[in-house]
Amino acid sequence: MKYLLLTLLLVSRFTTHAQQLPLTTVTEMARSLTDQQVLTATGRDELIRFAGGQPLKLYEGLDTVALQGITQSIFVADAGLIDRIPGQTRIPPALLDSLAHIDHYPWSGHTEQFAEEQFLQQQFPSRCDLYNFLLFAADFYRFNYTNDLSYNNTLATLVSRIGSWFGPAMTPLFKDTAVEFSVNDQTDTPEAQQERVKTFAPYLNWVAIFQQAGFLPASDHVIQQYYNNGKNIFATTHHSSFLQELGKYITYLDKYPYLREQQLHHLDSLQQTGFIDSTQKKQIITRYKPFTLLSSDDILSGCNNAVPLYTATDIKPYDCIPQNEYGLIPPASIQTVFKTVTDKISRKILPLTVTDIRIYKQKPGSNGLYPYQEQLALSRSAKLLSATLLLNNQLYKETIDEKEFESWIRPENFQFLNHYLEDQHDNRRFYFITPNRFTHYEPLPDTVFLALLTEQQATLLQSPYLFDRIKGCYNGSPGDYDYAVYPGDYFQLSSRLSKTQIDSFVAICQQHQVLPAGNTALLQATIREQNPAGYRAALSCSPACFDSQDNLYSLLTGTQRALQQMLPHNKLFFTQLPEHRNGTQQPSSGFMFNKQIYRVPASGEATDFSNEIVVKTINKALSGHGLPYRLYQVSDNSEVFNGHSYVLMKPAAAQALRSLSAEIFPVTGSSR
């Protein structure tokens, strides 16, 4: 209780910090900056005039028409830029309101940011108003004072007057040069980190200056603590970029009462949805600390529908981030993680009876390379490992995609949980939640959570005041392992084939030898893992399905490979015929099959697939040699650049598949 009272007292004192500053406080702040030689007496007086809404001396005697051509761009609500005359950084409330109502880019979709800007408008003058006034003016001077301005007397006078605002303490900004820290995570040492801390120290002088002037609370040392850790110093640094970073933090502090209010509002809504109860909400609120917002650990650690995965014990010991070699993830690690996750969920959220977890490790090719190494320039997907899990006697499959410099533990690896919920007719879904860093200075997250949410709860949690993005445990779209969509899409089950549809599809395909016979449950799980949006995507699992560019050579090559898959001992081959032109050989629109020549009619050139004459000619060749298969163009595949998908199958199989969906093959398809 004593800690709670202290927290509330500090937050209450901080709330007053964000309110409108009295002119006496502004005068004290301006005097401190003058004493520290950031401002001259001229700059001090202009800052006070700005805070009081009085006309600036800056523009006295200048041509107002000429001033219209001298502007400075200012960001508004993180959405876009407007041009203001230097020194006029305050955006009138009427202009802010009008921008907020523009419903097209770049202003649309920034409702929360505009609400925050409007909150700050009501506090004018706040500390961030004063800081931005000085920073924008200093930047304008820094960009112009070294230029020859003899061509524009008004601009020259304006630059000179702004320069007279600032004292010698601003010299590091006006003489700014970049300091670059070259850091390699693999070779970094504590000694090198400490050396970077010493090199960075002069930039922290700005924090001391503005803290002494009252722009930052005297008790707030998060910036100094953050940069006293050399691991956080790793990029190019300028005085100008650090001052911009400091300005963002001052703005955050001024917004804090509003941000905290929004968090509390979302907690109320989460309680109404049943995600937390009143006792849990009270406990969560006690975790507020001065100047900070609630983290995912604060909110989720006590919830009944969320389980933590701790980096130190649940992730890091089983994690593998490949650097130069691939195929290094130990299968036992995969098995341990899946067992840990299912055990935690079963103990706290819902019962999961996992009777079998098996890991399959793909072997390298004859050249010793894994698929990722062979196709590095063509594809990001390695898919070197897969896992099958038997939950309540239903088989589920997961593919582990090993990627360069990236962990394998990702939301998509737990998709089986949501497929299981679908099978149980449960409308809730699991989400992968990592902490949202509000100020850049919070510690790096060491815990992620798997949370079971309703659609309404997911929408509430995905908020800039809680978590910018929560990741659903799904492969977001057919065949796209790296894409995760936003929460609303996970509840649109009509966009994907259902389990019943997939099971029927597999049964028909196995009956007609379109898919291999054997482990039916594994085939069903394999197709389901890709979340196919339609039967065309599901058909891509057939060994006789292939993508082809719109040229005769590509189509003949694909057909030959498919034929070898269906008839491994086949000795018949497609060969494109050469054509002699001007003494050279060029590909023609004809081909040979089993020593018999076939010509594509002149009206159907090799690059013209609109009437599918080429496909019909191939089918004529197959029929003429007594082969039972025909080539079918599958409905358009947008993933094939300048081409289409095709499949080799028996006509009876095509007819059976049409019974599932008439759209699986084009209306004027190649079946004739």
Residue type at 668?
Answer: T
Percent of the chain with pLDDT strictly greater than 70:
85
Q: Across the chain, what does the average pLDDT equal?
A: 86
* Mean of pLDDT values over 11-35: 78
168: cis peptide before it, omega within 30°?
Answer: no
Among 32, 60, 36, which residue's Cα sits nearest to residue 127? 32
| Cα–Cα distance measured from residue 456 to residue 439, given in angstroms and rounded to the nearest whole number | 27
| Cα–Cα distance measured from residue 465 to residue 468, given in angstroms and rounded to the nearest whole number | 8
List the beta bridge partners of residue 631. Answer: 648
CA pseudo-torsion sign 614, 618, 624, 628: negative
Instruction: Determine how many CB atoms are found less than 10 A away from the CB of residue 77.
Output: 20
Q: Which residue has the higher pLDDT, 76 or 405?
A: 76
Confidence of residue 329 (pLDDT cuts 50, 70, 90): confident
Exposed / middle / buried, residue 641 (Cβ in 10 Å: 0-12, 13-18, 19+): exposed
Residue-level pLDDT at 587: 59
Residue type at 461?
Answer: L
pTM here?
A: 0.84
| Cα–Cα distance measured from residue 544 to residue 647, given in angstroms and rounded to the nearest whole number | 5
| Cα–Cα distance measured from residue 601 to residue 357, given in angstroms and rounded to the nearest whole number | 56
Residue-level pLDDT at 25: 97
Percent of the chain with pLDDT strictly greater than 90:
60
| Cα–Cα distance measured from residue 652 to residue 510, given in angstroms and rounded to the nearest whole number | 13
Pair 587, 578: CB distance under 8 Å: yes
pLDDT in tens, 202-236: 999 999 999 999 999 999 999 999 999 999 999 99
* Mean of pLDDT values over 362-379: 63
Among 157, 156, 161, 163, which residue's Cα sits nearest to residue 141? 163
Confidence of residue 29 (pLDDT cuts 50, 70, 90): very high
| Cα–Cα distance measured from residue 139 to residue 162, given in angstroms and rounded to the nearest whole number | 10
Residue-level pLDDT at 37: 98
Residue-level pLDDT at 647: 94
| Cα–Cα distance measured from residue 538 to residue 524, given in angstroms and rounded to the nearest whole number | 10
Each residue of 21-57: b (16+ CB within 10 Å) or e?
beeeebbebbebbbeeebbbebbbbbbbebbeeeebe
Among 532, 520, 519, 538, which residue's Cα sits nearest to residue 657? 538
Pair 84, 71: CB distance under 8 Å: yes
Residues in the chain, total: 672
> Residue 406 above 80 pLDDT?
no
* CA geometry: angle 212, 213, 218, nearest 5 deg: 45
Among 497, 495, 214, 529, which residue's Cα sits nearest to residue 395? 529
Residue-level pLDDT at 279: 96
| Cα–Cα distance measured from residue 101 to residue 120, given in angstroms and rounded to the nearest whole number | 18
pLDDT in tens, 592-622: 998 899 988 755 444 444 457 888 999 999 9
Pair 433, 467: CB distance under 8 Å: yes
The sheet carrying 630-633 orders its strands as 545-549, 643-649, 630-633
> Residue 341 above 80 pLDDT?
yes
CA pseudo-torsion sign 529, 531, 534, 537: negative
What is the SS3 string spanning 300-345?
A: HCCCCCEEEEEHHHHHHHHCCCCCCCCCCCCHHHHHHHHHHHHHHH
CA pseudo-torsion sign 493, 495, 496, 499: positive
Q: Is 591 helix (H, G, I), strand (E, B) or coil?
A: strand
Q: Which residue has the higher pLDDT, 639 or 298?
A: 298
Pair 166, 39: CB distance under 8 Å: yes
Strand pairing report for 429-433 and 447-453: antiparallel
| Cα–Cα distance measured from residue 405 to residue 347, given in angstroms and rounded to the nearest whole number | 33
* Mean of pLDDT values over 130-152: 94
> Residue 398 above 60 pLDDT?
yes
Confidence of residue 639 (pLDDT cuts 50, 70, 90): low
| Cα–Cα distance measured from residue 239 to residue 245, given in angstroms and rounded to the nearest whole number | 10
| Cα–Cα distance measured from residue 202 to residue 230, given in angstroms and rounded to the nearest whole number | 14
Helices (runs of H) and strands (runs of E) counted in the chain = 26, 15
